[in-house]
Amino acid sequence: MAAPVTRIPLTRLPALPAASTPEQRYWETFKSHLLIQEYGAIKSINFSPVSPHDFAVTASTLVKVYSSKTRAVSKTISRFQAPAQSGSFRSDGKVLVAGDDNGLIQVFDIGSRAVIKTWDEHNGNTVNVTKFSPTNVTQVLSASDDKTVRLWDLTSLKSTHTFIGNQDYVRAASFVPGSPHSVVSGGYDRTVRLWDSRSVSDQWSMEFNVPAPVDALLILPGGTTILASNGPTVHVWDVIAAKRVAVLHNHQKSITSLALSTGPQNGGRRVLTGALDGHVKVYDPTTWKVVHGVKYPSPILAIGISPDEKHLVVGMSNGLLSVRTRSSGREKEKAKEKERVLDMIAAGIDPITGTGGPKSKTSAQRRRTKGMDYKGEGADIVVQQNTQKKKERAWEQHLRRGNYDDALDFALMSNQPHITVFTMFGELRHRNALNAALANRDENTLKPILRWLIKYLPNPQYVSIIVEVSLSILDMYSHDLGKSPDFDKLMRRLHLRVKHEVENSKQSSLIVGMLNMLLAGSTSG
């Protein structure tokens, strides 16, 4: 008995990489984009730890507090005689501390903008960092160009600790989460030092060396992982193991700011870096791979993300402040409710009363139709399989009968010529009948084949079969060149398309070679 005739399945091409990953789609939800022009370069951005998470922007001689709800300025602190630095909130969001280029440190009440405390022990040197302790509401940390790191208390007139040992400007410093007595600093002497305020000598307890000046520091929750940006790289250390665990080489210019995303919405903790190349990179700290990136028009000096993951704020060297806002849950619910109301209106239902739409059965109708929908017990239901065979397509019939030229012509006229013709060529090659399908053709039957080759040559998934078919056509019909203007025109188009793709391949090879040289140089350095 002859085997049953089965339909030829269309070729399934390999799946291409997804246009975007879930991680990228999450960061792309920060859609509402607001640009604000400040008077000077944005030095720092700091979010209040307390809801609604207003944020302080330090630029020129001002520290402005922006409302997270309106994204407009709610407070302006202008008590500085020199450019301000590092405006930072206290853990309760009621007090703010900032330094300036004259070495002055001031503490402000957010409500009244009154000065609560003033310190001036940095001898006129720029105070680059001012921060409140996350656990002690009266303790303040500062780092300055006078090469010192100091601790202050709101109840004291002078600094309580002075950490001496840096050989150059100290541009970054932070408290260590989970360790109230530990402080980390980094500076232009190309070192990162860990200090302990309980030490009598105020000497560092651990030191890490980096190949370039340190511009920013970030300590991950738990206090065992330290990130330090130096030049275009970020070095990651494990404090417990006292060793470097990763080096991130994803920027082309110096990295100026580091931030931490801790919200659960994106599936876990993320590290953000901003650099002078105008890029913000998002890293997954479990693998230290870049999961997303955003390009900005100017060099970036400061970045910040709100604790509720609603606002991503970036400050640039030209004074431009970018505020990207993600839709909140309440706004999403409003959009869903609006969509539901529109659906009800389209179905003829009153969205207020819920009346209208398809009429329900009356009680009399329900009695008359009672039991008509009964299908029997589950064991008595017989599932009948549909054994009806699907009709062969025209090109399949001709291919099965050995009419290869007709099979190819019908494939070119199908509803999906791109994949059907590709499948047909594959079947012809498998049957060693490619030349038989292409031979003895005239100008009119060759034109559709040439047009298909020209159209899909740029698709890398089709290149192999297109090259083989093109060579066969040239072998068979090269002697006919010059006899038909239309045929000659299509052959010239195919020639130009091949030439264009060859040039693209050459350029791609040059770029790959350049990238390999750059990566090899950065690795050796």
Q: What is the DSSP string of 197-263?
A: TT-SS--EEEEEE-SS-EEEEEE-TTS-EEEEEETTEEEEEETTTTEEEEEE---SS-EEEEEEE--
Question: Where would I find the H helices in 15-54?
Answer: 22-27
Distance CA 426, CA 250 (A): 43
Residue 144: how many other CB atoms lie within 10 Å? 28
Looking at residue 338, its pLDDT comes to: 65
β-pair partners for 99: 85, 105
User: Which amino acid would we find at residue 422?
Assistant: F
Q: How many CA atoms lie within 13 A of 80 on its CB side?
A: 30
On the question of pLDDT at 292 being above 50, the answer is yes
Looking at residue 377, its pLDDT comes to: 44
On the question of pLDDT at 516 being above 90, the answer is no
Looking at residue 357, its pLDDT comes to: 53
On the question of pLDDT at 333 being above 70, the answer is no
Looking at residue 380, its pLDDT comes to: 44
Looking at residue 482, its pLDDT comes to: 82
Higher pLDDT, 200 or 237: 237
Distance CA 121, CA 99 (A): 12
Mean pLDDT of 352-356: 61
Burial of 453 (C-beta count, 10 Å sphere; 0-12/13-18/19+): buried
Looking at residue 356, its pLDDT comes to: 58
Share of the chain above pLDDT 70, in %: 83
Q: Which residues contact 16 (CB under 8 A, 6 or more apart)?
A: none
Pairing of strands 73-77, 84-89: unpaired
Structure tokens at 287: 């693998």
For residue 345, CA distances in Å to 33, 334, 338, 360 come to 33, 17, 11, 18
| pLDDT bracket for residue 379 (50, 70, 90) | very low
Could you read off the pLDDT of 394-435 as tens digits, one per residue?
888 888 888 888 888 888 888 887 788 888 888 888 888 888
- Angle at CA 111, nearest 5°, toward 105 and 117? 25
| pLDDT bracket for residue 382 (50, 70, 90) | very low
| pLDDT bracket for residue 235 (50, 70, 90) | very high
* Phi-psi domain of 398 (left: phi exceeds 0; alpha: psi -120 through 50; beta: other): alpha
Looking at residue 206, its pLDDT comes to: 85
Share of the chain above pLDDT 90, in %: 42
Mean pLDDT of 18-25: 76
pTM for the whole thing? Answer: 0.63
β-pair partners for 246: 236
Provide the 3-class DSSP secondary structure of residue 419.
helix
**Most confident of the ranges 13-27, 327-341, 479-493:** 479-493
CB distance 108 to 79 below 8 Å: yes
